[in-house]
Amino acid sequence: MYDQSDRNFHCDHCHKIIETGEMCWTKWAFPPSHLKAQVKPRKEFEWKNAPILCSQCSDKELDLSKF
C-alpha cells in the first residue's frame, strides 16, 4: 500500500517500507495487448493503492486472496 504521510510503499502484511529496486509481489491487471509494456510506473501503483508484499512475506504461506 502507498502511505501518503511518508510517501513510501509499505508491505500490506508486515508494513515494512519497500525500497526502490526491491523485489516485491503486487496484484495488477495485465495490459490488454502483448504489445503494451509490462512495467508499471510508480505513480500508477500510487494512484490505485495497489496491494504490495515484500519479498520475505511473499515467500511465506499466506492467503494471497486477502490482499
Residues 2-56 pLDDT 10s: 788 888 889 888 999 988 888 888 877 666 666 666 666 667 777 777 788 888 8
Sequence-distant (≥ 6) Cβ neighbours of residue 59 within 8 angstroms: none
- Domain coordinates in residue numbering, the chain: 1-27+43-62
> How many CA atoms lie within 13 Å of 11's alpha carbon, on the beta-carbon side?
19
pLDDT of residue 38: 60
Residue 64: partners with Cβ closer than 8 Å, 6 or more residues away: 25, 27, 53
Give residue 16's pLDDT.
Answer: 92
Residue 23's closest CA among 62, 66, 67, 59? 59
